[in-house]
Amino acid sequence: MQVAMKETVVETSAPPRGRRRWFVLALLFSITVINFIDRQTVSVLAPVLKQTLHLTDTQYGRVVAAFQFGMMTGELPMGALMDRWGVRLGLMGAVLWWSGATAMQSVARTGTQLGLVRFWMGTGECGNYSGGLKVVSQWFSPRERTLAIGIFNSGSMIGATIAPPLILYLLQQYGFRAAFLLAAALGVLWLPLWYWVYREPSTLETKSAGALTSIAPDSAPTRVSIADRSLWAIMFCRFFIGPVMQFYWYWIPSYLFSARHLSISQIGFLAWIPFLLGDIGGLAGGGAAGLLQRRGLRIDKVRRWTMYTSSLLCVASLFVPLARSTALAFLLIGIAMLADNFLSANMFASMTDLFPEHQIGRVTGFSGVASGLSGLLFPLLTGVLVDHFSYTPVFFLVALMPLAGTLSLFLLGRAGYTCIAREAALTQEVSR
């Protein structure tokens, strides 16, 4: 069984002094915000789109699934592109590609047309994470990575928080098609900033004085073995955890409209609240992992503590359809989203635990295929369940899937984390 070898890590007690990596992280955060405004546009407009394009819940589920199929299709090419050609040009190409698709949604006249454009959009948007995780693994030390990933990933919640009131305003003032055009324009405006700020690290050491991780030489193999159990651990983890937050992104406005009988204006005014809690969860997940590491807890134990605890909190979703008041339903959704984003920060960081930097793009791509597959199947299942039953069985599934993903990571990835524990024990013994 193959266990990925980690890159050489040099830790010092001096505080990081490099500033460029924080500017880079700010840009990753901002493009993730834009990315999720793009994604949320369809979900916030779902009640309007269903009426305008004459879509049932099952047909709307197909539109959501088309986007996820695009994500799944684009994951491996995007991951390979980031590893081979670098993140500077790779991420620029991805943003330009998906921004074009976002703009084209404004001219869709049927559900089929909207689904095809969403597929195109998905093939580009998957590059956000394969590029972002590679940047974090290059520019941040192991003790900083979970926090950096939490900050970068929190852009998803900020984007989802901003989207409802912003899109509602555009809908009321200019019509729903204007929302797609603005979202596309934001991505295009980001491109020159990234080109100006970002530079690829050298092959031996990062250009940032504060980044403490040495980078593998060009001769290091970037291929990832499909027989590696650690890879399957990551893939199964994302397979179960990925659709949970996607359900909240794409279906909560429809749930509030059809099951809780909120108006479009009320949804725009209130729907950002659970996403704000989700944003707090992402930052807390990164901060908690960093704090536990600074207190001397081994990384394998850090991941177990943070991921099992947060996956159990995700069970709050189970009680959402049972809540009699809308306020309590909002609170339960917020708790579940906080816990799931807390979990996600550590899930993405686990890739940097188990694999070296020069393989991160491809590992993210493989895991994205697994997430894309479940993201393709789950919206279809959701649409059928909602049309024929209710939202109750869907909330039951999203309550338990995070725990299934966490179990998969530590059962299949046991050898990888055992190797990390042995290396940590050896290092501690040598230091004595």
Domain boundaries, the chain: 20-199+228-431
CA distance linking residue 39 with residue 101, whole number of Å = 11
DSSP E strand stretches across 182-315: none
CA distance linking residue 103 with residue 82, whole number of Å = 24
- At residue 427, the pLDDT reads 55
CA distance linking residue 48 with residue 388, whole number of Å = 22
- At residue 422, the pLDDT reads 64
CATH code linked to domain 20-199+228-431: 1.20.1250.20
CA distance linking residue 188 with residue 200, whole number of Å = 21
- Give the burial class of 44: count Cβ atoms within 10 A of its Cβ; 0-12 exposed, 13-18 middle, 19 or more buried: buried
Asked if 245 contacts 377 with a C-beta cutoff of 8 angstroms, the reply is no
- At residue 429, the pLDDT reads 55
- At residue 416, the pLDDT reads 67
CA distance linking residue 65 with residue 226, whole number of Å = 26
Asked if 380 contacts 251 with a C-beta cutoff of 8 angstroms, the reply is no
pTM of the model: 0.68
What is the DSSP annotation of 392-413? HHHHHHHHHHHHHHHHHHHHHT
| Amino acid letter for position 297 | L
∠ CA 323-328-332, rounded to 5°: 90
- At residue 317, the pLDDT reads 92
Asked if 87 contacts 131 with a C-beta cutoff of 8 angstroms, the reply is yes
Structure tokens at 361: 């793009």
**What are the mean pLDDT values of the chain's consecutive 10-residue runs (432 residues total)?**
41 47 89 88 84 85 85 82 82 92 90 92 88 83 78 80 84 86 91 87 45 41 71 91 84 83 78 80 84 84 92 93 89 92 87 76 80 82 87 93 93 75 57 54
- At residue 425, the pLDDT reads 57
- Give strand pairing partners of 9: 213
CA distance linking residue 123 with residue 65, whole number of Å = 13
